[in-house]
Chains A and B, each alone.
Chain A
Amino acid sequence: MHKLVLRSVTKSYAAGSAVLKPFDLVAQAGELVVLVGPSGCGKSTLLKLIAGLEKLDDGQILLGERDITNVEPRHRRIAMVFQNYALYPHLSVRENLAYPLRRQKLRAADIVLKVSAVARQLRLDELLDRRPSQLSGGQKQRVAMGRAIIREPDLFLLDEPLSNLDAALRTHVRGEIRDLQRRLGTTMIYVTHDQVEAQTLADRLVIMRNGEVQQVGPPQEIYERPANIFAAAFLGTAPPNFLAGRIVDDRVEIGQASLPLADLPGECRTALAGREQIYVGLRPEMLRPTCDLDRDHFVLRGKVIRREIVGNSQNVHFRSEAGSADAAKLSALAGRHLSDELVWTTERAGTDDAVELGIRPESILFFDTDGVAIGAHGSDAL
């Protein structure tokens, strides 16, 4: 098992526009680190740098005991699974699997043994003589995985390996990849767009934006204590409802609603004291009808605009007078479009046209006007 360390790696394709700002990252031996971030933030570029397919401008990359910064890709002992799988179209599945072994000049008999072992492991036995063009998406994916594991690399890099699969298959293959990684114990860097994928797979999650790390940590921790509005908006089925608020005397005021600071956890209280303008984030799935809550001081009232049914839960969109007037600024901080509608995710079937919702004070996320979390910083040291 090998630990991966990136030390202030920088990269720009064109002079003047850095794709990766000085970037640091540590993946512990055997860890599965998931990189998430919006399109164009440099995820693929980062993987290519680690693999040696792109040349870095500056910085250092260590894998296990080795400094691989200037090692050729083929000597890095890194395997990569590409989004489009990059199977050799002119080779059969068998030859695709054997390809890395042939490059290592292994004996023919050993190659046959390994290929059949991997084929069995990934249920590819029946497909060995087909060409990639004769495979389904899921099968291609398995071949790509097979080609990655067959030569027992020190590190796996996966670049959105499931994005070409349908939803059901994605869930299934996701589980398989997780199991495989656990069983092999090989360190893995996994890139995805999909926050569910990210949360279910990751030992640790790295949230990126514009070539910079926003937050690193276990998914649950980032979910509970996001470091900023961007990270908060990234995890969760729907982004939190962001509202503008003010600290007046000893209360947080959001529109008509208000909440005494005394109800908040201690660290939060001290951090909030002395500020004026703030933003709060209320996760849609944390909202409860006020009648269900015993002690609750923060109440949102609103009119339902529409409902979306998703399986056994529904998203209730409503408008409230507390709704933020800062949609544009918040959208910029969150890196995605936020409307001034609020959302409540609930498993109740029937809901009235008027809603009255509350939230536990300790579930409220607080941010300053730059979008940085107040009080609880979830980031661990790099």
Chain B
Amino acid sequence: MTPLSAQKRAEARVGLMLAAPAILLLVLLVVLPVLATAGFSLTDYRLGTQAIGFAGFDNYAALWNDPRFWQSVANTATYTLIVVPGSVGLGLGAALLIESRGWLKPFYRVAYFLPVASTFIAMAIVWEFLMNPSVGLFNQILAALGLPSVNFLGNPQTALYSMAAIGIWELTGFNMVLFMAGLSAIPRDLYDASAVDGAESGWDRFRMVTWPMLGPTTFFVVIITMIRAVRVFEVAAVITQGRPEGATEVLLYSIYVQAFQYFNIGYAAALIVVFLAVTALIALAQARFGGQREANR
């Protein structure tokens, strides 16, 4: 190693200074809480009590043996696996559909975006109305078509999927907006070039230019959709409370119930640690995949 010159040190100092707020916040808001959580997960701490005792891996053992925990893991995974492809695919589709449509573009953009800004609580009620087994609009339509009625959110078979449908509705618009920004950054000449290279159909153009060029955007969209999907909470909290039969019991809801209703901090912490471990695994897989994609560009 050559000794750092004065200039390099100055550059490093400024760089650190600029990054300092981010580093500070990162430590305060992510690193510390995660470490604290890991610590709490080894205790029997309950909010409101003074005593705090070391519990070893008791919490984890309890988790392991708790069927509700496994159910909420499975539910969250299923939900995420439906919502991420669904809302990313629909968002991309919508962006492609709207793209290059002159004067109506802002209108469409706002239309898709509204669900993002809609206060979810009110929307939850709307969805509850829509999916109501007796008076809901969907069942009215099913009845008009001569089909049997479905208790969308009340039936353990359909509750999670209904929740996923709501999730897709909520997340698609935002993804579309991000995809539109990505699409507008693709240089026009690439399409001309692909035409010269023999791309004829719209599908060819998509495959040869749009999709590869959207790589980084897609990576980003998938990540943030995933984050927003795994923390699904509101429907469970407001409409179903995890019912029926735990069909809509999702991880964040379990954490919330354990931590802020039963004040079972140790147990909740163990839940969080498991949750983070799973996201970490997904993150690694994603980063590899996304990293490769970027390298191949």
Contacts and interface: CB of A to CB of B under 8 A. Distances in A.
B1 A55 contact: no
B1 A15 contact: yes
B292 interface: no
A55 B8 contact: yes
Contacts of A55: 5, 7-8, 11
Interface in A56-98: 56-58, 70
A70 B1 contact: no
B6 interface: yes
| Range of interface residues on B (Cβ < 8 Å) | under 10
Nearest to B7: A55
Nearest to A57: B2
Interface string A1-28: 0000000000010010000000000000
A70 B2 contact: no
A57 B1 contact: no
Interface string B1-32: 11001111001000000000000000000000
Contacts of B8: 55
Interface in A128-152: none
Contacts of A15: 1-2
A12 B5 CA distance: 13
| Range of interface residues on A (Cβ < 8 Å) | under 10
Contacts of B6: 70
Which of B6, B7, B8, B11 has the most chain A CB atoms closer than 10 A to its own CB? B7
A57 B4 CA distance: 8
A248 B152 CA distance: 102
B5 A56 contact: yes
A56 B8 CA distance: 9
A58 B2 contact: yes
A12 B2 CA distance: 10
Contacts of B5: 55-58, 70
A377 B184 CA distance: 59
A210 to B, nearest CB: 19
A163 to B, nearest CB: 20
Nearest to A55: B7
A56 B11 CA distance: 13
A12 B1 CA distance: 11
A203 to B, nearest CB: 31
A85 B196 CA distance: 30
A167 B8 CA distance: 41
A57 B11 CA distance: 14
Contacts of A12: 2
A52 B7 CA distance: 9
A216 B148 CA distance: 91
Contacts of A70: 5-7
A115 to B, nearest CB: 32
Nearest to B1: A15
Nearest to B8: A55
Which of A55, A57, A70 has the most chain B CB atoms closer than 10 A to its own CB? A55
A57 B6 CA distance: 10
Nearest to B6: A70
B13 to A, nearest CB: 13
Nearest to A59: B5
Nearest to B5: A55
Contacts of B11: 55
Contacts of A52: 7
Contacts of A57: 2, 5
A15 B11 CA distance: 19
A56 B4 CA distance: 10
Nearest to B2: A57
Interface string A198-226: 00000000000000000000000000000
Contacts of B1: 15
Contacts of B7: 52, 55, 70
A240 B176 CA distance: 61
Contacts of B2: 12, 15, 57-58
A95 B49 CA distance: 67
Contacts of A56: 5
Nearest to A12: B2
Interface string B286-297: 000000000000
A70 B11 CA distance: 12
B4 to A, nearest CB: 9
Which of A12, A15, A57 has the most chain B CB atoms closer than 10 A to its own CB? A57
A11 to B, nearest CB: 10
Interface in A36-54: 52
B210 to A, nearest CB: 23
A15 B2 CA distance: 8
A61 to B, nearest CB: 12
A57 B5 CA distance: 7
A15 to B, nearest CB: 6
Interface string A335-379: 000000000000000000000000000000000000000000000
B223 to A, nearest CB: 29
B277 to A, nearest CB: 35
A88 B5 CA distance: 31
A55 B5 CA distance: 8
Contacts of A58: 2, 5
A199 B1 CA distance: 40
Nearest to A58: B2
A56 B6 CA distance: 10
A89 to B, nearest CB: 14
A73 B265 CA distance: 55
B208 to A, nearest CB: 26
A15 B3 CA distance: 11
Interface in B197-232: none
A58 B5 CA distance: 8
A75 to B, nearest CB: 12
B7 to A, nearest CB: 4
A89 B175 CA distance: 29
Top-4 shortest CB links A-B: A55-B7, A55-B8, A57-B2, A70-B6
7 contacts: A15-B1, A55-B11, A57-B2, A57-B5, A58-B2, A70-B6, A70-B7
Given A15-B1, A70-B6, 12 more contacts: A12-B2, A52-B7, A55-B5, A55-B7, A55-B8, A55-B11, A57-B2, A57-B5, A58-B2, A58-B5, A70-B5, A70-B7
